[in-house]
Amino acid sequence: AEASARQVQRMEVLGQLAAGVAHDFANIVQAAGTAASLIESRAQDENVLSLARVIGKASARGQVLTRRMLDFARNDASARAGEATADPAEVVGGVCDLLSRVLGHGCRLRCEIERDGLPALVRSERAELEAALMNLAANARDAMPKGGEVTVRVVAERMTLRHPAGLGPGLYARVSVIDEGEGMPPEVLARAGEPFFTTKPRGKGTGLGLSGVRGFAEAAGGALRVRSEPGRGTTVTFWLPAVTMVRPEPQVRAAAGG
Ligand code: ADP
């Protein structure tokens, strides 16, 4: 019990530290974004303009991520989930270009969006879904130093019984990021979703990627599952529940005079 109390205390300190770093980082990223939009407004050269737009987009996403980290530290993921909705096909389709930039030259990206039966809207904030995919793509890239293929797949899944991942019955968008990387040995897999757990060198890993994606999926009423085989690759899957349109109840009016 004493060890776990110490661990809780350590986590609290780390949380505060992360929040401090996130706060400073938000300012840095914002400065870069402001500079990029100044360049965009002044430059003539089409190449310079397009690079400035890339910086602008990257910094916008950096701001989303740092805000996520602040939220994470404040531990109000469920408050954040709120009422936001997103079109999974549209969001994933829209972010593929950026994901292939994250992957760089070494890796190929396949985006498979199976629209058949896919919910038009899921419980998720667009920026959060994008950030989740960026995180998973970065992990896939890091796991494939020799390159390879990364598949991002979105399909519909209708659960009838309770799913082992803890999902109730209903319609979901199932989003998977599949890599052909080095995979994880069991002891890493067991801890991979823990906040601050990382096997990456200092300055490269935060250990907030997978735990953040799990927090995001669970706050939306979904779940996350990681499958990994050393030497073969990793599949990270998360489910987001469909927003079911509730038909408004017909107003049954009591007869006049009642
Ligand atoms: P970070 O990427 O900053 O280390 P994450 O929470 O995203 O933090 O991941 C935690 C750890 O899980 C990583 O350090 C790595 O060891 C392992 N991991 C995550 N994704 C993958 C992947 N696709 N392939 C292999 N290992 C992974």
The pLDDT, as a whole number, for residue 74 is: 64
Which residues line the pocket of ligand 1, CB cutoff 6 A?
Answer: 139-140, 143, 179, 181-184, 188, 192, 197-200, 205-211, 234
More confident position, 127 or 254: 127
pLDDT score of 148: 96
User: According to the model, what pLDDT value does residue 258 have?
Assistant: 43
Q: Which atom of ligand 1 is nearest to the CA of 198?
A: 14
Has residue 197 got a pLDDT over 60? yes
Centre of ligand 1 to C-alpha 166, Å, is 23
Answer whether 193's CB lies under 8 Å from 215's CB.
Answer: no
pLDDT score of 133: 94
The pLDDT, as a whole number, for residue 118 is 95
Closest CA relative to residue 98, chosen from 147, 131, 64: 131
SS3 label, residue 91: helix
pTM tops 0.95, yes or no = no
**Best CA proximity match to 73, nearest among 127, 123, 133, 21:** 21
Partners of residue 236 on adjacent β-strands:
177, 226
Q: How far is CA 155 from the centre of its chain?
A: 17
- Give me ligand 1 centre to Cα 139, in Å: 6
Q: Please give the mean pLDDT across all residues of the chain.
A: 86
Choose which residue among 14, 65, 135, 139 to substitute to test ligand 1 binding: the one with the highest number of ligand atoms within 8 A of its C-beta. Answer: 139
pLDDT tens profile 56-107: 989 988 888 887 777 766 655 444 455 789 999 999 999 998 899 889 888 9
In DSSP terms, which residues pair with 100 in a beta bridge? none
More confident residue, 121 or 165: 121
61: tokens are 């996403």
pLDDT at 138: 93
Integer-rounded Cα radius of gyration of the chain: 21
How would residue 34 be classed by pLDDT, with cut points 50, 70 and 90?
confident
Strand 148-159 with 170-179, pairing: antiparallel
Stretch 23-41: mean pLDDT: 86
Q: What's the pLDDT tens digit per position in 218-252?
A: 888 899 999 999 999 999 999 999 997 655 555 55
Its ipTM equals 0.98
